């Protein structure tokens, strides 16, 4: 069993949890993920690691209550335990393999949308620890849905906020803000890392391509079983089939077939809707 040590509401239906999982905490690297089950009959759900503390044996996750399994997780309280918490899984960010002096020469921009902040944050903080602070754009529909901006402001070189309704920061999409920084402020980047909704990452990749900026995207939202056995996370990258859970979750955004990936996300929509309705009815 894996106890939930702390639970904190970040935004409506979005929670941060610290889970006691010493072996995972001692092995995790930025970009990797875990799989949890709330109970012995629960669904296997992958979540990107948002943070880890080897000294305390804890792993931080951020979860949004959007379906049956995530609602069950968000309904748990401090002191409750998860039946399974497996990891770290997947390949770590390629940034962790670069020497610090090379990292410090790179101009890196992270673009995170919504809960896509979760996979971006450990990479941003890890870079800061290497003396290579990155610029960060965080986008959300409105101010109340922006998360971890205080923590990001401390770890980033520059933090730029964007909201669809203009309630905080730049009024517009993250892609509009990127073009604003590039065209009007003369910002130049050697690498862009995009994390968030699939459609957002698609348009980030389209936005960076004319500038010839290498762009990495995290396709963790495609995963189901997380071990390569089910095949649900197949994605075409550069004309070749890859499995997000074992070959990724990060890939070259300019080579990903996003239209295929977006279609794949809808494969289990009916089953997910049925399960969610049953969960909501049971929870009252």
Whether pLDDT at 236 is above 70 = yes
Q: Is residue 284 part of a domain?
A: no
C-alpha distances out from residue 97 to 18, 102, 198, 223, 224, Å: 27, 10, 26, 24, 27
> Are 9 and 82 in the same domain?
yes
Q: Is residue 174 part of a domain?
A: yes
Whether pLDDT at 276 is above 60 = no
The closest alpha carbon to 249, from 200, 195, 192, 203, belongs to 195
Helix (H) or strand (E) holding 223: none
Q: What is the pLDDT of residue 227?
A: 66
Residues recorded for the chain: 284
Q: What is the pLDDT of residue 256?
A: 94
C-alpha span between 50 and 209 (Å, rounded): 28
Q: Is residue 158 part of a domain?
A: yes
Among the listed ranges 203-212, 254-263, 274-283, which one has the minimum average pLDDT value? 274-283
Whether pLDDT at 181 is above 90 = yes
**What is the pLDDT averaged over residues 140-166?**
93
> Are 181 and 108 in the same domain?
yes
Whether pLDDT at 281 is above 60 = no
The closest alpha carbon to 89, from 261, 233, 249, 197, belongs to 249
> Are 69 and 159 in the same domain?
no
Residue range of the domain that includes 67:
2-89
> Are 82 and 147 in the same domain?
no
Among 198, 214, 230, where does a domain finish?
214
C-alpha span between 109 and 185 (Å, rounded): 14
Residues 191, 216 contacting (CB under 8 angstroms): yes
Among 184, 199, 214, where does a domain finish?
214
> Are 157 and 258 in the same domain?
no
Whether pLDDT at 278 is above 60 = no
> Are 111 and 206 in the same domain?
yes
Q: Is the peptide bond preceding residue 141 cis, with omega within 30 degrees of 0?
A: no
Residues 176, 145 contacting (CB under 8 angstroms): no
Total domains in the fold of the chain: 3
Exposed / middle / buried, residue 157 (Cβ in 10 Å: 0-12, 13-18, 19+)? middle
Q: Is residue 146 part of a domain?
A: yes
Distance, C-alpha 253 to centroid of its chain: 15
Distance, C-alpha 20 to centroid of its chain: 20
**What is the pLDDT averaged over residues 230-247?**
85
Whether pLDDT at 91 is above 80 = yes
CATH of the domain at 66: 2.40.30.10
> Are 132 and 223 in the same domain?
no
Which neighbouring-strand residues pair with 52?
59
> Are 134 and 81 in the same domain?
no
Phi, psi (degrees; rounded to nearest 5) at 178: -60, -45
CATH of the domain at 101: 3.40.50.80
What is the DSSP annotation of 55-84? TTTEEEEEEE--SHHHHHHHH--TT-EESE
The runs of H, that is alpha helices, within 76-173 are 100-105, 117-129, 149-155
> Are 98 and 210 in the same domain?
yes
Q: Is residue 109 part of a domain?
A: yes
Q: Is residue 56 part of a domain?
A: yes
> Are 162 and 110 in the same domain?
yes
> Are 148 and 105 in the same domain?
yes
Distance, C-alpha 283 to centroid of its chain: 27
Q: What is the pLDDT of residue 149?
A: 86
> Are 226 and 179 in the same domain?
no
Residues 110, 145 contacting (CB under 8 angstroms): no
Among 68, 89, 110, where does a domain finish?
89
Q: Is residue 84 part of a domain?
A: yes
Look over the chain and give the mean of its residue pLDDT values, rounded to a whole number.
Answer: 88
């Amino acid at each position: 069993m894996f106890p939930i040590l702390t639970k904190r509401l970040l935004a409506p239906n979005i929670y941060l949890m610290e889970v006691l999982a010493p072996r995972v905490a001692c092995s995790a690297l930025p970009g990797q993920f875990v799989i949890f089950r709330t109970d012995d009959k629960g669904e296997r759900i992958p979540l990107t690691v948002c943070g880890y503390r080897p000294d305390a044996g804890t792993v931080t996750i951020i979860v949004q209550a959007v379906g049956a399994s995530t609602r069950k997780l968000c309904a748990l309280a401090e002191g409750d335990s998860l039946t399974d918490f497996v990891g770290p899984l997947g390949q770590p960010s390629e940034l962790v393999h670069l020497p610090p002096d090379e990292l410090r020469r790179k101009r890196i921009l992270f673009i995170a949308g919504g809960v896509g902040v979760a996979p971006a944050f450990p990479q941003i903080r890890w870079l800061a620890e290497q003396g290579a602070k990155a610029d960060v754009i965080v986008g959300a529909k409105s101010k109340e849905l922006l998360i971890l901006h205080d923590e990001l402001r401390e770890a980033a070189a520059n933090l730029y906020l964007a909201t669809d309704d203009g309630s905080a920061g730049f009024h517009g999409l993250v892609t509009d803000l990127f073009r604003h920084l590039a065209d009007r402020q003369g910002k130049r980047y050697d690498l862009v890392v995009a994390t968030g909704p699939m459609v957002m990452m698609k348009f980030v990749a389209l936005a960076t391509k004319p500038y010839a900026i290498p762009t990495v995207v995290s396709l963790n939202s495609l995963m189901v079983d997380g071990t390569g056995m089910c095949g649900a996370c197949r994605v075409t990258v550069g004309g070749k089939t890859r499995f997000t859970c074992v070959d990724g979750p990060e890939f070259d955004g300019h080579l990903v077939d996003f239209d295929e990936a977006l279609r794949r996300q809808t494969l289990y929509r009916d089953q997910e809707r049925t399960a969610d309705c049953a969960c909501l009815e049971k929870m009252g």
